[in-house]
Amino acid sequence: MGQTTTLFRVRVPLQRLKRAEAVLSRLGLKPGDAFNMLLAQIDLRKEIPFPISTKPITPLLTADQQATAWTEALGEY
């Protein structure tokens, strides 16, 4: 028998959602899929699956640095 599901609604800034949807669509995911993955990781780990801080743990990469890192890791798109 299938699992019981529930509808979870949340308000988010429109531009944040649009930017996130653009990234998720390249991965073939919808925002609900990403949210379910986050909840699954929290359930499995019994904690938030990434550090939360007011300061960056490592310096943030520029867009060019990110593109280079992705290309080196995954090859040309």
What is the pTM assigned to this prediction?
A: 0.64
Q: Is 2 a member of any domain?
A: no
For the chain, helix (H) and strand (E) counts, in that order, are 3, 0
Structure confidence at residue 31 as a pLDDT band (50, 70, 90): very high
pLDDT digit string, tens, across residues 48-66: 998 888 887 778 889 999 9
Q: Is 34 a member of any domain?
A: yes
Q: Is 4 a member of any domain?
A: no
Residue 57 lies in domain: 14-74
For 28, the 3-state DSSP assignment is coil
